[in-house]
Amino acid sequence: MNQVEALERAILARAERLASEYRERAARSRDSILREAAERLRLREAREEANAKALAERTFRQRVQASELKMQTHLDRVRWNLVLDVEQRLSERMRVFIDDEVAYNAWLQRLIVEAAEVIESPEILVTANAQDQRRLFVNWDTIVSALPPGKRAVLVPAPEVIHTLGGVLVTSADGRIRVDHTFEGRLERLRPRIQQTILERLLPGGFDTGSLFTG
């Protein structure tokens, strides 16, 4: 083997070693790139999955809230209808009570006496609807005799009657103090208790919609 052949072989061997080194380096670079790409893909998928979950949870909460609002609106409507129904029944019972002349007249007298006891005025004015005004006029002497000592009552004449189903409106002589014992006035004062009774008797579970969705 001459020197030229030896040099060629040395060059070829060196080239093969360099080629092997570059192949190994390229393989390592490829593996590193693939690992980085896979990691980036995994992180991207994780972010997208987290975003999707957050969006799904937000959408679910919005739907639940919308359902709760819808249910609450429905329950409020149910409650209002129950109140109206109770008031209607109370009006019907009041009309039956008015037809019981003895009991109703005694009740009117008791209302006037109770008002006279709380109104700090020696003279009170009593106003009623047209029908009750006539009843009171007939029984006025009995009513006056039942008043507390030192109290004087005046039955407001017919032109000044009020529009009410029943009961009386009692005021001081100067009109500054008034006791509304009309059916409508008493019903208005009792409305919170009526609603509470409805809740306790007809809807013992109340109107809390939270348990419908959260258990």
Separation of alpha carbons 21 and 41, rounded Å: 30
Nearest 5 degrees, angle CA 73-CA 79-CA 84? 125
Q: Tell me the per-residue pLDDT of 163-200, one tens digit each, with 9 for 90 and over.
A: 999 999 999 999 899 999 999 999 889 888 887 887 77
Separation of alpha carbons 86 and 79, rounded Å: 10
Window from 30-34, 139-143, 161-165 with minimum mean pLDDT: 30-34
Give the rounded percent of residues in the chain with a pLDDT score beyond 90: 41
Q: Tell me the per-residue pLDDT of 154-165, one tens digit each, with 9 for 90 and over.
A: 999 878 889 999
Q: What pLDDT does 81 receive?
A: 84
Name the average pLDDT for the chain. 85
For residue 215, pLDDT beyond 60:
no
* Highest averaged pLDDT of the listed ranges 27-36, 110-119, 183-192: 110-119
The residue type found at 40 is R
For residue 121, pLDDT beyond 60:
yes
Q: Which CATH superfamily is domain 100-201 in?
A: ATP synthase, E subunit, C-terminal (3.30.2320.30)
Q: What is the mean pLDDT of residues 81-102?
A: 89
Tokens of 52: 């999707």
Window from 146-155, 182-191, 204-213 with minimum mean pLDDT: 204-213
Q: What pLDDT does 173 receive?
A: 92
For the chain, give the longest Cα–Cα distance: 157
For residue 202, pLDDT beyond 50:
yes
The residue type found at 179 is V
For residue 135, pLDDT beyond 50:
yes
What pTM does this model have?
0.60
Instruction: Report domain extents, the chain.
Output: 100-201
Q: What is the mean pLDDT of residues 86-90?
A: 84
Separation of alpha carbons 113 and 57, rounded Å: 65
Q: What pLDDT does 79 receive?
A: 76
